[in-house]
Amino acid sequence: MSTGNQGGTTLLELQQVGRTYRLGDVRLEALAALDLAIAPGEFVAFTGPSGSGKSTLCHLLGLLDLPTAGRIFLSGEDTATLDENRRAEIRNRRIGFVFQDFSLVPVLSALENVQLPLHLRRTPPADSRRRAAEALAAVGLAGSANQRPSQLSGGQQQRVALARGLVTEAEILIADEPTANLDSASAYAVLGLMRRLNTERGTTVLLATHDARLLEGVGRRVELRDGRLVADRRGGAP
Ligand SMILES: Nc1ncnc2c1ncn2[C@@H]1O[C@H](COP(=O)(O)OP(=O)(O)OP(=O)(O)O)[C@@H](O)[C@H]1O
Ligand SMILES: [Mg+2]
């Protein structure tokens, strides 16, 4: 009972996906009955108020978490059939993440932070240094390679995190509130980079945000409310 897989062109397909959290006796439905199909190369924004389920959805799409109901297919493969090792391998190989809290390692330089996902893939050090330097240059931080996170502004740290998310040139970039706490100029710079990845490299970009500044011109907006999909709009550029 495939719902959205037209001729095998679906990258990610969710069928009746739900995620329930249990807190003692209380059950909290963070996501419910979600049907969604994402094609390769799409730029999709997930919007909705705080608590609507955006981060939960990002974690599920990135195979960081498992649904408690329904199925998630990645390139036609039912992800429920994958063990944790295989899911980790897919995350390393195919998915780049950018999270709101940056999660940079404080004792490492900006360059070393960006190299981390390449280390996970056992990229030779000389190669990983070169690619990390390129990624830092792409986010406008070539001059800050040797600085530690604490020596950078919030916007610069966010761009380091973005460089780390894109350095592997993964086919899917998942960004959860990547511009929270950023001034407008930095927010637009981060969005511009994601747009370029999408248009120039064909990276599928999945962006959770309630930052209205970022939504202008985004190709597709999926709106959540109380864990349910309430709108799925495709719009052109402004
Ligand atoms: N680990 C958890 N344990 C229990 N409940 C959780 C957990 N993570 C999220 N929730 C709950 O699930 C619901 C959806 O949370 P989620 O973080 O996905 O929302 P969000 O749309 O990302 O919100 P925000 O815009 O504030 O980031 C909320 O009610 C939240 O309290
Ligand atoms: Mg969130």
Cα–Cα distance for residue pair 219/94, rounded to 1 Å: 22
Check: CB of residue 152 under 8 Å from CB of residue 161.
Answer: no
Question: Is 13 part of a structural domain of the chain?
Answer: no
Q: How far is the CA of 31 from the centre of ligand 1 (A)?
A: 9
Question: Is 63 part of a structural domain of the chain?
Answer: no
Residue 104: the pLDDT is 92
Question: Is 68 part of a structural domain of the chain?
Answer: no
Ligand sitting nearest the alpha carbon of 64? 1
| Probe residue for ligand 1, chosen from 21, 26, 206 as the CB with the greatest number of ligand atoms within 8 Å | 21
Give the range of the structural domain holding residue 95, as residue numbers without chain letter.
Answer: 42-52+81-234
CATH, residue 116:
3.40.50.300
Ligand sitting nearest the alpha carbon of 227? 1
CA-nearest residue for atom 18, ligand 1, is: 53
Chain segment 209-218, per-residue pLDDT in tens:
987 777 877 8
Ligand sitting nearest the alpha carbon of 30? 1
Q: How far is the CA of 69 from the centre of ligand 2 (A)?
A: 20
Comparing 32-36, 184-188, 196-200, which segment has the lowest mean pLDDT? 184-188
Residue 2 in this model has a pLDDT that exceeds 70: no
Question: Is 19 part of a structural domain of the chain?
Answer: no
Residue 238 in this model has a pLDDT that exceeds 60: no
Question: Is 20 part of a structural domain of the chain?
Answer: no
Cα–Cα distance for residue pair 238/235, rounded to 1 Å: 8
When the pLDDT of each residue in the chain is averaged and rounded to a whole number, the result is 89
Total domain count, the chain? 1
Task: List, in order, residues 6 or more apart from 169 with CB less than 8 Å away.
Answer: 201, 203
Question: Is 61 part of a structural domain of the chain?
Answer: no
Question: Is 180 part of a structural domain of the chain?
Answer: yes
This prediction's pTM? 0.89
Chain segment 3-50, per-residue pLDDT in tens:
444 445 899 999 999 999 999 999 999 999 999 999 999 999 999 999
* DSSP code string of the chain: --SS-STT--SEEEEEEEEEEEETTEEEEEEEEEEEEE-TT-EEEEE-STTSSHHHHHHHHTTSS--SEEEEEETTEEGGG--HHHHHHHHHHHEEEEETT----TTS-HHHHHHHHHHHTT--HHHHHHHHHHHHHHTT-GGGTT--GGGS-HHHHHHHHHHHHHTT--SEEEEESTTTT--HHHHHHHHHHHHHIIIII--EEEEE---GGGTTT-SEEEEEETTEEEEEEE----
Nearest atom, ligand 1, residue 53 CA: 18
Residue 8: the pLDDT is 56
Question: Is 4 part of a structural domain of the chain?
Answer: no
Cα–Cα distance for residue pair 236/199, rounded to 1 Å: 14
CA-nearest residue for atom 7, ligand 1, is: 21
